[in-house]
């Protein structure tokens, strides 16, 4: 009888762990204590697809379906990792810096009218532009800090990627299988998993 009770407790415990894991996968990804909602990633995907219909995409090779889903979840995971690196390096990106970078981008494009096409070409949803700017500035500032520490420019990109991999390992990343498989060695989302229509072709 005692063995039967112990077995029952173990079975119930396993069931609870499985249910807990399923509940967590209501998120697109979990990085440490930060959850990225599926809705956030889906909004990015849907906005990218919608915005493609508003510009001339002739001649552009644009990712679709699973590849697009992976690129968007990768972006949102990278935003979280870079935000954590910013805390570690004492980096703060002000709204003034964001606005200045936005204006620089517009100038480089020759005006606001060039922005939609540029965003489509880069697979960036308009709603995510500020996040993209912040992430880019953090990456740049981290690079400056590494150079100040003696890292050579030739080794800079590798050093920055190593920091992202280390931070991902430190926090632990759990990826919803609908978006692919998390590769801890490179801190990137790879094909695989159990896709469940994260993106549907609009052809």
Q: Is residue 10 predicted with pLDDT exceeding 50?
A: no
Q: Which whole number is the average pLDDT over 176-181? A: 95
CATH of the domain at 59: 1.10.4030
**What is the model's pLDDT at position 96?**
98
177 Cβ neighbours under 8 A, 6+ residues apart = 25, 192, 193, 194, 195
The H or E element spanning position 173 is strand 173-175
In a domain, 195, yes or no: no
In a domain, 200, yes or no: no
Rg for the chain, CA atoms, rounded = 20
Q: Is residue 100 predicted with pLDDT exceeding 60?
A: yes
Q: Which whole number is the average pLDDT over 57-69? A: 84
Q: Mean pLDDT for the chain?
A: 85
In a domain, 139, yes or no: yes
**What is the model's pLDDT at position 171?**
97
- For 153-162, the pLDDT digits (tens) are 999 999 999 9
In a domain, 201, yes or no: no
CA–CA separation, 17 and 30 (whole Å): 16
The pTM for the full model equals 0.81
The H or E element spanning position 190 is strand 188-190
Instruction: Provide the number of structural domains found in the chain.
Output: 1
Comparing 61 with 20, which gets the higher pLDDT?
61
Q: Which whole number is the average pLDDT over 188-193? A: 88
In a domain, 105, yes or no: yes
Q: Provide the residue range defining the domain that includes 65.
A: 28-190
**What is the model's pLDDT at position 4?**
37
In a domain, 2, yes or no: no
In a domain, 21, yes or no: no
In a domain, 17, yes or no: no
């Amino acid at each position: 009888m005692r063995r039967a009770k112990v077995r029952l407790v173990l079975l119930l415990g396993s069931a609870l762990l499985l249910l807990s894991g399923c509940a967590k996968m209501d998120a697109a990804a979990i990085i440490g204590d930060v959850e990225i909602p599926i809705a956030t990633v889906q909004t990015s995907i849907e906005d990218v697809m919608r915005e493609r219909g508003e510009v001339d995409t002739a001649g552009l090779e644009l990712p679709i379906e699973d590849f697009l889903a992976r690129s968007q979840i990768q972006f949102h995971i990278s935003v979280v990792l870079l935000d954590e690196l910013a805390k570690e390096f004492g980096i703060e990106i002000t709204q003034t810096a964001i606005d200045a970078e936005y204006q620089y981008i517009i100038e480089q494009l020759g005006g606001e009218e060039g922005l939609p096409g540029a965003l489509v070409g880069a697979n960036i949803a308009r709603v995510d532009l500020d996040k993209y700017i912040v992430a880019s500035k953090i990456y740049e500032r981290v690079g400056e800090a590494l150079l100040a520490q003696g890292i050579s420019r030739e080794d800079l990109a590798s050093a920055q990627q190593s920091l992202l991999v280390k931070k991902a390992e430190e926090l632990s990343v759990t990826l919803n299988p609908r978006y692919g498989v998390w590769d801890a060695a490179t801190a990137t989302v790879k094909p695989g998993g159990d896709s469940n229509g994260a993106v549907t072709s609009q052809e």
